[in-house]
Structure formats: C-alpha cells, structure tokens
C-alpha cells in the first residue's frame, strides 16, 4: 500500500539528502534564495488565476519547507513534526473563537477576529516598536503597511503637511490600511491595468 503523500514526500527528501550530491551540500543559508524564488513564483501563480499553476508552485514551496526541516533533523535541531506541532499550537492559541471555551465571548466578524489575533500575537512577541520583528527585506509597501497596522499613528505623523516623498507615500499606505486595501496588491493591479492600455 502506498504511503500517505506527505510521509512519502518526507521519505523522498531524506533519501535525496542522503544520495544526491547537490542536495547533500545544501544548507539553510544556501537554500534561502530558492525559498524566496519559490515564494515569488507562488505569488505569480496566484496572480495568474490558474489552479494548476498554483498547485504546482505550492508543491515547490512545500519542497522548501521539507528540505529545511530535513536539514534541521540531521542536526537534531528540530523535525518536520516539530514544525507542524509548533504551527498547530500557534493556530490553537491565536484562534480562541474556534478552539477556545465555547461559553466565552468571542468576536464574530473578520475584523474582530483579526484584532483578537493581533492582540494575542502582541502579548506573545512583546514588541518594543512598530517595526520590531518585521523583516527589513519585505517589499517597502508591505513593510510600511505592517508597521502601520501595528501603530496607526505612524501614518498620521507622515501625513502632517510633509513635502518629503517618503512621508507622502507612507501616508498613502496608511490610507490604504484604513480602507482595508492591500497597498502592494493595489499598486500591482494599477501597474498591470495601465501597462495593458493601447
């Protein structure tokens, strides 16, 4: 009988790591560029609207997760099971409206659920600033949006009659966040829309 697909793939990754010279040489650091590349290809697949393309790219992204987990497993740092246990525990903690006490009062709309998620995350992370813990390699619009989501006053300060282009851009990102619009996606859509005009 065939193995369950996820377990079969773990077996394949362990074997590839042991028997493929290129894969045996890889480290978390050497694979970082591939993780970034596969993430961008997955985003492109989402943009394409093709389920077949998205399925393929999610597989390539899953490969990266398994590859890193197998490398860590060899060092006895953590395993794929540890990764799964960690994210399972996090989902249970951060979604008390689903997994918590059913008798307790929980938010019932998406905005309330998101606010509760952010509050739980804030207590877990103990951030000292709006940008604390944000990867500096995030695209600038996403970096700004996440900072503003943590501290909306950032955008208000930037909007105060500034002639600085960066401040004005930050104020626009604040406007998008307040409107519930993803500024990164909005800009991509605008570029795509205007670049296809005759």
Tens digit of pLDDT for each residue in 71-104? 999 999 999 999 999 999 999 999 999 999 989 9
* Residue 112: both structure tokens together: 């309330």
Rounded-to-integer distance, Cα 150 and Cα 114, Å: 12
pLDDT at 160 over 70: no
Instruction: Please tell me the predicted confidence (pLDDT) of residue 66.
Output: 98
Shortest CA distance to 118 belongs to which of 95, 139, 145?
95
What is the DSSP secondary-structure string of 120-153? HHHHHH--SSTTTT--TTS-HHHHHHHHHHH-TH
Q: How many CB atoms lie within 10 A of CB 13?
A: 21
Q: Are 18 and 74 in contact (CB under 8 A)?
A: no
| Residues 56, 49: Cα–Cα separation, whole Å | 13
Angle subtended by helix axes 28-48 and 51-74, to nearest 10:
160
| Domains of the chain (ranges, CATH numbers) | 5-92 (1.10.287.1080), 128-198 (no CATH)
Which of 83-87, 134-138, 170-174 is predicted least confidently? 134-138
Confidence (pTM): 0.77
How much is the pLDDT for 196? 74
| Cα Dmax for the chain | 69
CB atoms under 10 Å from CB of 157, counted, come to 13
Instruction: Write the pLDDT tens digit of every residue in 109-129.
Output: 998 998 888 888 878 887 788
Rounded CA gap, 139 and 156, in Å?
21
Taking the C-alpha atoms of residue 141 and residue 169, their distance in angstroms, rounded to an integer, is 9
Report pLDDT for 195.
80
> How far apart (Å, rounded) are the C-alpha atoms in residues 14 and 71?
9
């Amino acid at each position: 009988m065939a193995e369950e697909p996820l377990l079969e793939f773990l077996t394949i990754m362990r074997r590839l790591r042991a028997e493929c010279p290129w894969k045996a040489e890889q480290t978390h650091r050497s694979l970082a560029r591939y993780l970034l590349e596969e993430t961008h290809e997955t985003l492109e697949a989402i943009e394409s609207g093709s389920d077949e393309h998205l399925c393929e790219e999610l597989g390539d992204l899953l490969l990266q997760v398994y590859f890193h987990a197998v490398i860590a497993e060899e060092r006895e740092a953590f395993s794929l099971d540890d990764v799964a246990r960690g994210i399972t525990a996090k989902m249970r903690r951060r979604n008390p409206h689903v997994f918590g006490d059913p008798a307790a009062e929980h938010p019932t709309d998406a905005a309330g659920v998101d606010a509760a998620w952010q509050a739980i995350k804030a207590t877990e992370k103990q951030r000292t600033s709006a940008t604390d813990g944000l990867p500096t390699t995030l695209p600038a619009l996403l970096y700004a949006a996440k900072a503003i989501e943590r501290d909306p006053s950032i955008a208000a300060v930037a909007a105060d009659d500034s002639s600085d282009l960066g401040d004005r851009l930050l104020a626009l990102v604040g406007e998008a966040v307040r409107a519930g619009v993803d500024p990164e996606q909005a800009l991509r859509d605008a570029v795509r829309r205007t670049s296809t005009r005759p």
